[in-house]
Amino acid sequence: MKTIKTPKDVLTPDALRMIEIIHQEGSFAAAARQMSMVPSALTYRVRQMEDALDVLLFDRSARQAYLTRVGEELLKEGQRLLLDMDAIANRIRRIATGWESELTIAVDAVIDRNILMELCAEFLSKNPPTRLRFRDEAIQGSLHALQSGQADLAIGIPINFGSAPDILHEPLGTVRFVFAVTPDHPLAKLKQPLQDSVLRQYRAVAVADTIPTGPGMTIGLLPGQDVLTVPSMQIKLDAQLRGLGVGFLPEPLARPYIDSGQLQIRSVMRQDRSAHMGYGWRKPQDADQPSQGGKALQWWLHKLSSTKTRQALLGLSRQGVSKRVKSIL
């Protein structure tokens, strides 16, 4: 009894390459010679594909083998699938040499995104098989993502978070925060240092803590103070530049706007704020692996070991908002 083949039986990589060769050679006979087959065997395989798909792939009204419209679509999709399969095979071979399939990096709100993307571009220029995934985090979020296994590397964690057996960490640097307001804000005209009782009367802008469990941490806010909560430090800066509120900003981020007169630093009756930041990564569970993990993580940790790179990520070497700093990386 004749076995009826289904589309999944006939749509194999070899069959798709066969259609491509017939199209390139222009005839079944020439394609059969190219593939070291007898023409009848090649014709039979094409018939099997056509029967399974219930379509005609080639117009046989002339001596040349012309693809039908359906055949052209199959060829186009087949070429794409073959390229995808080759890419997957290459990725698997390269991952077997020590590269991670994906590396997730949690990034705190104070980290300079321009520098981060410079590092990303340099990493991708090596054509690694590892896919990168970035997570925007704030306050406790980066550390939580690392500790919960949602990130492999966290850039911008509190350096004094304590200890965890599966987390390794190094210092990144210290960022000073300044209390900034626009020149036309009422607080810009009051005597310094500003008292808490005065600050409480004006709206503050705060970046939301991205930790998903429990109440988020608030920094620099006063009880009863009106708050505009935003998702990132860049949006907080923009909100304060628009006079929508006041608050502490990383000094390197605010400095260009302070120098241009768009923001003013005001002293307050509270201790100066500084954040001691670090970066951390998960210790590999496989005891045979190096402590710095796979090759993608090793690349990022090597970059982070540079003092200039760490300073750039914290904006400590900023020389104007628009200037590129690739040379220091």
pLDDT tier, 9 (very low <50, low <70, confident <90, very high otherwise) = confident
Domain containing residue 60: CATH number: 1.10.10.10
Q: 83 with 146, same domain?
A: no
Query: Model confidence over 35-67: pLDDT tens digits?
Result: 889 989 988 888 888 888 888 988 877 778 889
Q: What is the pLDDT of residue 290?
A: 59
CA 279 to CA 158: how far, in whole Å? 8
> Which amino acid, residue 27?
S
Q: 62 with 185, same domain?
A: no
> How many structural domains are present in the chain?
2
- Give 204-207 contacts, CB < 8 A, sequence gap 24+: 204/228, 204/245, 204/246, 204/247, 205/230, 205/236, 205/239, 205/240, 205/244, 205/245, 205/246, 205/247, 206/230, 206/236, 206/247, 207/109, 207/138, 207/139, 207/231, 207/232, 207/233, 207/236
Domain containing residue 298: CATH number: 3.40.190.290
Q: What is the pLDDT of residue 316?
A: 85
pLDDT tier, 320 (very low <50, low <70, confident <90, very high otherwise) = very low
- Cα distances from 281 to residues 149, 153, 168, 198, 284, in angstroms, run 10, 4, 5, 42, 9
Q: What is the pLDDT of residue 277?
A: 93
Q: Is the pTM of this model over 0.75?
A: no
Q: 76 with 159, same domain?
A: no
- Give me the domain span that covers residue 37: 7-95
Query: Model confidence over 201-228: pLDDT tens digits?
Result: 999 999 998 988 766 677 778 888 999 9
Q: Helix or strand or coil: residue 115?
A: helix
Tell me whether residue 106 is in a domain.
Answer: yes
Tell me whether residue 1 is in a domain.
Answer: no
